[in-house]
A = this chain, B = another copy of it.
Amino acid sequence: MTYEESLAALADPTRRQIYEHVTRSAGSVADISKGFPISRPAVSQHLKVLSDAGLVAAKQQGNRRIYRATPDGLAELRQYLDRLWGDVLGEFAKSFEKEL
């Protein structure tokens, strides 16, 4: 569960769409698959990547697994970007000083 994994997980367009869907409403794999033009195993594989990144988590409910979004992976990613943001603003300010 690192920010690298979250970054790689959200980079793929369809996987990002799946994540956004889960973000808005949790559901079983079959439910989630309904809205996408790819096969159910493909969705399952995407959910595994999202799960490894800490972006979603599954709760077993009888025969089905309910996937829902978790804050963990996203929090890590936001923290990393905040660090970058600080560096960028710092260097950006320094570049102005040099130009004067």
Contact = CB atoms under 8 A, between A and B. Distances in A.
A7 interface: yes
User: What secondary structure prevails in chain A residues at the interface with B?
Assistant: helix
A69 B91 contact: yes
A68 B88 CA distance: 9
Interface residues of A, number: 29
Interface string A58-99: 000000000011110010011001101101110110010000
A89 to B, nearest CB: 7
A24 B77 contact: no
A95 to B, nearest CB: 6
A29 interface: no
Contact of A69 (B13, B26, B77, B92): B92
